[in-house]
Structure 1
């Protein structure tokens, strides 16, 4: 492993975790988005990650949830159909919050690796000057 490989790997992790955090934030903020029954529900986003050859991680793609969502009886809602139904997304808040904690921890770990590598390289430079 080269001198800057740990920084490269940590940087790839930061990018992937930031994308994951962004998609979770989008899902959570749209969990209660109401649509009429003739429209598609909000489609949640799921980050698909894969290992990079030689180390690191990258976003392979973004998978989207089911556009059917779930029908909820809410006859007083302005978007309700003739039978009183509206369409809500299939967003499991417990799962989203659990993933949010995992994504935050992964991001924090990558930041710590970056800080440690920078301190190590800085110390190595000071040793070389003495």
Structure 2
């Protein structure tokens, strides 16, 4: 039995979740950056994943060719388009004429939730890969004794 599709599915899931963690960390790191006059403000990012059709998944599981080249996570990173937060801080060097400072529209609570859920999903993919590895090794062990 070929265990490559199982490993490829877990690897694709881990790649997606790693990207979600990186984007959430980037958004949190830039949550308090200010927009200088004449410069573009930081725009929070988000990961958009596309679901594969059930037929594509079944074809992948039944195919005998190299799965690692065909199983790629279908996602991309795009700007979220969140409106900037305007905070009244008259003494801030980047404040406008009315005393407001423009911060990126990053929701720290939502980013922390995304970070935790992506971490848990990554751990689940690692557990699935380890279980598949254990089963493959056990199958080799059983086959070697006959």
- RMSD of equivalent CA atoms: 2.1
More helix by share: 2
More strand by share: 1
8 Å Cα contact 2:23-2:45 kept in structure 1: yes
- Higher RCO (C-alpha under 8 Å, 6+ residues apart): 2
Instruction: List gaps (5 residues or longer) in structure 1.
Output: none
Which runs of 4 or more aligned residues in structure 1 lie more than 3 Å from their structure 2 counterparts after TM superposition? 36-40
Q: Say how many residue pairs are matched.
A: 130
For normalisation by structure 2, the TM-score amounts to 0.79
Q: Measure, in 1, the Cα distance between the counterparts of 2:108 and 2:76.
A: 22
Pick which of 29-38 and 100-109 moved more.
29-38
1:87 positional shift: 0.8
Equivalent positions of 1:59-78 (< 5 A) are: 59-66=74-81, 68-78=83-93
Pick which of 30-39 and 68-77 moved more.
30-39
Instruction: List gaps (5 residues or longer) in structure 2.
Output: 61-70
Pick which of 19-28 and 56-65 moved more.
56-65
8 Å Cα contact 1:41-1:68 kept in structure 2: no
- Which of 92, 107, 121 does residue 136 from structure 2 map onto? 121
For normalisation by structure 1, the TM-score amounts to 0.88
8 Å Cα contact 1:50-1:59 kept in structure 2: yes
